[in-house]
Structure 1
């Protein structure tokens, strides 16, 4: 119990699940040294990446690389759900284990459908920036859990486990009943999820067609829906401290309709992501850092691979 919400819980959870799957870890171990230049709370050095790193090491050193990228992601989710105590989904783990730009369909969570997309941001004339808002999200497990719990309450009205199993038409037809049972915030969050599932498909198609302007428009639309309906930008009841929303507002003002900016990762604290035209990248970086602090703007590349063994 004392390891809940700690890195030790994630290590133990990964090892436990791999052991149950047949990896013999009895009387075996390793000393690990880790270093990273990724800033804390960036939405990039998340627990998912940590879980995949642990799973990759154990898989390569003690199990001859038998686990697939999908299995490593599922192991990470198990560790986070059961040992760490956070009811996360599988998306971050899949992104970390597969790598690159990917489209993932989770209808069958045991066998997610993964499609890698060939995307060169620089060829489109853009850079991807991650902006540190200055607000951590280490103590926000309850905020993340509330999203899951509220959406589950919506599903319970229809006797279903996940929102995907509830047709949107049925949700709209029973809206008053859902509001009474789950509350209005849950209803707004459901509106976001229904629209976001459609947007994800549209984003994938836009990238496939090479229509980056359409992709950016969808990113902007997604970000606004996330802030308005999913409500994962400002922690509940926080009025004086709204660092992430200020970061997003500042970026929109600097970009003046170009590119796109939105909440990055789970939200409530942490970072924003911005697609910035290359011809204004220097100006954008200087302006954001002048307002938010030195080195708050990180120009990043999308890693083409997930967990890998070097040498």
Structure 2
């Protein structure tokens, strides 16, 4: 539909049923989304002109639910897409040029006649766009130009993976505009990872893109990282009686690169001492047989981190099994056990460089006091600084949010839901 008709449909509530489903919200929330999309159309018109034929696209942020620091050892994870997303208003063009203006950023313009890595684009959004187009082209898919305006409410620095959402969005647009939606969600995720690794310059794993692209609760097994086994878990979180909270504890991420890098390095050192490359290849019995040598050559922390991997790799599977069985009580218990393992063995809740700053530890302690016997809590994402995750009974949500924000500041407790779908063209067929 053209931009004028799109605005008319949004104002008339034509998308509200779809928005209620997509964003796990009530009528008022759907109205807010309609207003958000309308503003995006207006911005699109200001950039590219009125009366153009446009389509809407959306890709969600993600939350890691199980498998803390297991993916880089070819382990299992459980992740979920959340009801925060990056959306795009798009119009196809015949110029062979992709133009994307993201709210708050300069226009990115990518000429598709040159699909090589551009050094000046490294660490910039244009590199992701070019890399996705290049990978699609090399795989034999069609590519072409489009004009887009995007806006995102995926929280920056919260471990919800705004960059992966953007990659999935671009891949989803090209999938629908030029390939009739024929590319699978998993392949779109892999294409996004390729762009981030080889064009953007960041050696990321595949969990973030997969969770965003597939949607809902997603169990991923990276035993063969070139062909991950992805299973979408059929669980209706919206009717679980719990809210998903991400609490931003603050802290300085500037000097944490070494802390993050030490975890995979130490785990791989343990694996090497057991004759393997990554811990997924190591038999746990062999690990314990070699523990004296591991302590001597790799140190106690490396050994403890390996113990965490063996436990959390199994817990990720058990969490998925509990959700498939509709057993949320067991799911919560495993979440708590996973969090305790991250604290005690993985040791990624604070940096030893600054032991007086322990926001994550404090948030976990407060959560345990409030939620013991009722909810669940764990470190979220990479750790050392940043966020925790909590599953809070709906009846306790106001109390939990108030107590956390009393300590960590206003608007630091973000109440989210698991979104049922991943990267999509926003249309009524989703509801069927």
Return the TM-score normalized by structure 2.
0.65
Deviation at 1:104, TM superposition (A): 1.9
Among candidates 327, 332, 338, match of residue 216 of structure 1 = 332
CA distance in 1, matches of 2:217, 2:150: 25
* DSSP-derived class of the 2:354 partner: coil
* DSSP-derived class of the 2:149 partner: coil
122 and 310 in structure 1: CA distance in 2 versus 1, 3 angstrom threshold: closer
- Note if 1:17 corresponds to 2:135: yes
CA distance in 2, matches of 1:212, 1:177: 40
* DSSP-derived class of the 1:299 partner: strand
Higher strand proportion (structure 1 or 2): 2
Which segment is superposed worse, 56-65 or 224-233?
56-65
Q: Do the aligned residues in 1 keep the contact of 2:245 with 2:415 (CA within 8 Å)? A: yes
Q: Do the aligned residues in 1 keep the contact of 2:161 with 2:208 (CA within 8 Å)? A: no
Q: Do the aligned residues in 2 keep the contact of 1:87 with 1:148 (CA within 8 Å)? A: no
Q: Do the aligned residues in 2 keep the contact of 1:133 with 1:243 (CA within 8 Å)? A: yes
* 1:154-211 deviation line (CA, Å, top 9, x unaligned): 2222342321111011111111222344333322211111001111122122222222
Aligned 1:180-259 pairs, distance under 5 A: 180-259=296-375
180 and 14 in structure 1: CA distance in 2 versus 1, 3 angstrom threshold: farther
Tell me the equivalent position of 1:57. Answer: 173
Deviation at 1:124, TM superposition (A): 3.4
Q: Do the aligned residues in 1 keep the contact of 2:217 with 2:234 (CA within 8 Å)? A: yes
Deviation at 1:218, TM superposition (A): 0.6
59 and 144 in structure 1: CA distance in 2 versus 1, 3 angstrom threshold: farther
- Note if 1:135 corresponds to 2:251: yes
Q: Do the aligned residues in 2 keep the contact of 1:41 with 1:136 (CA within 8 Å)? A: no
Return the TM-score normalized by structure 1.
0.88
Among candidates 11, 19, 39, match of residue 155 of structure 2 = 39
Deviation at 1:8, TM superposition (A): 4.0
76 and 184 in structure 1: CA distance in 2 versus 1, 3 angstrom threshold: farther
CA distance in 2, matches of 1:152, 1:50: 31
Q: Do the aligned residues in 2 keep the contact of 1:41 with 1:137 (CA within 8 Å)? A: no
* 1:35-66 deviation line (CA, Å, top 9, x unaligned): 12232112224432232222222333344433
Which segment is superposed worse, 205-214 or 286-295?
205-214
Q: Do the aligned residues in 2 keep the contact of 1:10 with 1:51 (CA within 8 Å)? A: yes
CA distance in 2, matches of 1:240, 1:83: 38
Aligned 1:1-311 pairs, distance under 5 A: 1=119, 3-23=121-141, 25=143, 28-135=144-251, 137=253, 140-311=256-427
CA distance in 2, matches of 1:139, 1:29: 40
Tell me the equivalent position of 2:111. Answer: none
CA distance in 2, matches of 1:138, 1:60: 39
CA RMSD in angstroms comes to 2.4
Unaligned runs of 5+ in 2: 1-118, 428-432
Unaligned runs of 5+ in 1: none
CA distance in 2, matches of 1:245, 1:228: 11
The number of equivalent residue pairs is 309
CA distance in 2, matches of 1:144, 1:84: 19
CA distance in 2, matches of 1:246, 1:231: 14
- Structure showing greater Rg: 2
* DSSP-derived class of the 1:179 partner: helix
